[in-house]
Amino acid sequence: MRVITTLSSMIKPGEPTWSGRLALSELDQTGMTTHVPTIYFYTKPSENWHTVLQTLKASLTTTLVQFYPLAGRLSSIARGRLELNCNANGVCFTEAYADVKLVDLGDFFQYPFFDQLMPSVDYRNTPIEDTPLLLLQVTRFLCGGWSLGFFISHVAVDGQSALHFLSEWARVCRGEPLGYPPYLDRKVLRAGYPPTVTFNGNIEQHAQCSPPPILIGQSSNENERRQETTVTMLKLTETLVEKLLNKANKNHKLESGRRFTRYEAVTAHAWRTACKIRNLEPDQKTSIGICIDVRRRMNPPLPEKYFGNAIVDLIATGTSGELVSSTLGFVSSKIRDTINKVDTDYVNSVIDFLKNQEDLSKFQDHLQLSNNEKGPFYGNPNLGVISWLTLPMYGIDFGWGKELFTGPGTNDAEDGDFLILRGVEGVRSLIVAVCLQVRHIEDFKRVFYQSIEED
C-alpha cells in the first residue's frame, strides 16, 4: 500500500476562546507523554470528496470552540511538571490518498496496524511546545472509502475524554448541535501544588511506588527490553468467552455474589498463560498492570464529562508457581480484589503521593528516551493490560454511516502489552492484541487456546 499526503493544515477554533495556562492534575502527567493512535474505516460517502473534507473541517472548527484545550500546546514547568497552554494554535489535519481499495485490507485483523494511515510526531526533534495535542489524517481509498487516523495526546486526555470529543465532533458534522460540553476545570482532582494532604498509609499497590519485578538472576530489565517482539491478534468467539467464564466461576465462591466479568477472566487467563510459556521459576514474582477509570469510583463522582485523565494504574502481584497451579477463579479474584481497592481515599492517596514527588519525570514514559530510561516495564515476567471494552468508541457516524472497523492505529507496543477489544463475531466476542517476544508468541497462542478447552 502506498499513501500520498496532499495537504496538511492547522485547524483552529472558529470563534475566540479562552487563552491562558491550564493546570494539569498529577493523573494527567504520569504515564505516557506521547499520543495514542486509533483508526476508523468508512465506506464511500454519499457526497463528493471535496464536500466531505470541507464538512469535516468546518465541523471541527465549531467543535474546538467548546473543546479549546485540544487546540493548545503543552509547556514544561518546574519539577518535571507540565501545563496546558490554551493558545488556539490548532490541531493538525492531513489529507491523503491510498493506492488500494478497502477490500484489499481483508478483515482488518489480518492487517492490524496502519502506520501510513496515521499522523506521526517526531518526538526527538519537535519541542513539546510545538507539538499539536491532536493530529488527524483523512485518507481516501481507490474505492471511495476512507479512513480517519486519530492521534491524541495522552497528557491532555484519557480514552473516555478523547472519545467524548470524537463523538461530539461527529455529532456536529452530522448537522446536530453539540450534545454534552466538556467539564474543563481539572482542580476537581486537585491540580497544582503544594500538596493539600500527606498520605502515610499503605501504598504498595500504587503502580508508581512498586516497580514491576525483574527476572530472577538479573539485575535489571535491560536485556528483556532489547528482545525482538511481535504482535498477534487473537479472536475469542462467544463460545470461547463463555467457556472461560465458566472455568473462572466454577467452584469459586464470590463474596459479592457477582460472577467474574469477561475482563477479569480473560485478563487472568492471559496472565497464567504468560507465566506458563515463559517457563518462569515457581518463585518468580510477577505483576500485571491494570488501568482503572475513577470517574464513578469517587464520592462524589467526578463531574459529568470531566475532560482530562481520570485513570489510575494498579498492580496485582503473585508468583508464577501460585498462578499456574491455582484455578482461573483464584487468579480472577486477584484481579478483582485489586480493582476493588479503588475508591476516593485510594485515588487521593495516589494524587498526594505524586504531589510530594520532587520530580514527576521519573514516572513518565517518553518515547524519545532510550529504553533503559523509559517508564515501568511490564514485559517478561509481567503483563500490562488495557481494556477498550467500556470505551464509547463504536458507532461513530460523521453523517455518512457508522464505521466498518475501529482499532489501534499503530504497532507501538512492547513486550507484555495486552489490549482487549470488542470482537466482530457476536456481541460478547472479543479480540485480544498481545505483544510478546518473538520466541514466546507461538507458544502463547497455542497454550492460550488449548487451556480454554481443558477441564
The answer to whether 214 and 98 have CB atoms below 8 angstroms apart is no
CA-nearest of 431, 351, 387, 397 to 108 is 431
* Residue 433: strand pairing partners: 233, 419
CA 315 to chain centre: 16
Q: Grid coordinates 448537522 are at which residue?
A: 175
CA-nearest of 103, 168, 102 to 140 is 102
Angstrom CA distances, 399 to 38, 46, 403, stand at 19, 9, 11
Q: Grid coordinates 498529577 are at which residue?
A: 26
Q: Which of 28, 35, 154, 206 is catalytic?
A: 154
Contacts 24+ apart (CB under 8 A), 105-110: 105/41, 107/424, 108/41, 108/404, 108/405, 108/407, 109/233, 109/235, 109/407, 109/431
Helix (H) or strand (E) holding 232: strand 229-236
Backbone angles phi, psi at 417, to 5 degrees: -70, 135
Is 397 among the catalytic positions?
A: yes
What single-letter DSSP state applies at residue 192?
S
Strands 383-387 and 285-293 come out as parallel
Q: Would you state the cell numbers that stand for residue 375, as one nine-digit string?
A: 517508564
CA-nearest of 288, 269, 220 to 432 is 269
Q: Which of 185, 365, 366, 397 is catalytic?
A: 397
Determine the Cα–Cα distance for residues 28 and 6; give it in Å rounded to an integer: 34
Cβ contacts of residue 320 below 8 Å, gap of 6+?
A: 275, 278, 280, 281, 282, 283, 284, 286, 381
CA-nearest of 72, 166, 177 to 128 is 72
Is 366 among the catalytic positions?
A: no
The answer to whether 5 and 120 have CB atoms below 8 angstroms apart is no
Helix (H) or strand (E) holding 321: helix 320-325
The answer to whether 270 and 432 have CB atoms below 8 angstroms apart is yes
Cβ contacts of residue 231 below 8 Å, gap of 6+?
A: 112, 113, 411, 413, 433, 434, 435
The set of catalytic residues is 154, 397
